[in-house]
Amino acid sequence: MSPDPVPFDAPAVERGFGFFETLLLIGRRAILWEPHARRLLTALEALDLPAPSLEALESSSGAALQGIGDDDGERALRLSWIAVGPDVDAPASWRLDASVRPIPGNTLARRAGSRAVTVPGRFRRDSPGFKSTSYFGAVAALRHARRSGGDEGLFTDGDLYLEGASTGLVAWNGGRFAGLAPGALPSVTAEAFLDGAGERRGLDREELLAGAILLGSLTTAVPLLALDGVECGLPPAMLRACEAFRQRLRTDAAMQKTL
């Protein structure tokens, strides 16, 4: 991680102009490395912004893991590509930071199942197609959820649910799966869970109450236990699917990269 401070007037500070990815680390194994790196680089390409090389992402991550052994300990790896200079079209204005940090306690607690809250419509992502550091909507939604007794806030578009503030959202839908609605942040973990299956659409409340899953890089895959205080269905096959996916994340070499 760069030791240099970020200027107070940097675009990343004043305007939230930057991008980031958060990955689950198991020892030195970065889970779903390739799709996380691809999401970051694809976003920068789509916006015609300067971008780090894949080699730079790997080398910076490896340096951040210095002193960490290849054990079964779980941590979070944060990759940040932030604008620190005024000319955001100049490569010299951008900085790559990689850091390793503990998984937040509230995220670890959510792994036992989530009690989510519908957040007011005034809270929404300002750039849902991109994993940007402009994260006011998500932070405000999580704060609202916690003040309401929940651990996750769910964004809506009209009567349809799109995603969580920090997780992707998939309805069990009788085992046919549905989620990853247009207008939601593309979820690396949800895409890996679905593996091409399911319907891409928004979800109604009754679908969530019948059984749903929250997915995130650090959350992994957990059942939705309650929505706005109403208990949700927990189909046994859905719970088995969550557990099987969590095991794959830990054991499937194709889903991992050793740094």
The CATH number for 11-103, chosen from 3.40.50.300, 3.20.190.10, 3.30.470.10, 3.30.980.10, is 3.30.470.10
Percent of the chain past pLDDT 70, that is, above it, reads 99
Q: Provide the residue type at 214 as one letter.
A: L
Is the distance from CB of 221 to CB of 242 less than 8 angstroms? yes
Q: What is the spatial distance between Cα 123 and Cα 5, in angstroms, rounded to a whole number?
A: 30
CB atoms within 10 A of CB 123: 20
CATH number of 108-251: 3.20.10.10
For the chain, the maximum distance between any two Cα atoms, rounded to a whole number of angstroms, is: 53
CB atoms within 10 A of CB 217: 26
Do domains 11-103 and 108-251 share one topology? The answer is no
What mean pLDDT, rounded, does the chain reach?
95
Interval 245-249 mean pLDDT: 98
Residue 2's pLDDT band, with cuts at 50, 70 and 90, is low
List the one residue out of 23, 8, 33 whose CA is nearest residue 258: 33
Q: Residues with Cβ < 8 Å from 232, sequence gap 6 or more? A: 208, 209, 210, 211, 212, 223, 224, 225, 226
Q: How far apart are the first and last CA of the chain?
A: 15
Is the distance from CB of 217 to CB of 193 less than 8 angstroms? no
Point out which residues pair with 257 in neighbouring strands: 30
Q: What is the spatial distance between Cα 108 and Cα 17, in angstroms, rounded to a whole number?
A: 29
**Helix or strand or coil: residue 173?**
helix
Is the distance from CB of 191 to CB of 42 less than 8 angstroms? no
Check residue 84 and give its pLDDT: 96
Q: What's the pLDDT tens digit per position in 205-227?
A: 999 999 999 999 999 999 999 99
Model-wide pTM > 0.75: yes
CB atoms within 10 A of CB 55: 8
pLDDT of 198 above 80: yes
List the one residue out of 131, 132, 128 whose CA is nearest residue 18: 132
CA angle 128, 44, 253 (to 5 degrees): 85
Is the distance from CB of 85 to CB of 93 less than 8 angstroms? yes
**Where are the chain's structural domains?**
11-103, 108-251
Pairing of strands 114-118, 220-227: parallel
Q: What's the pLDDT tens digit per position in 121-168?
A: 888 887 888 999 988 899 999 999 999 999 999 999 999 999 999 999
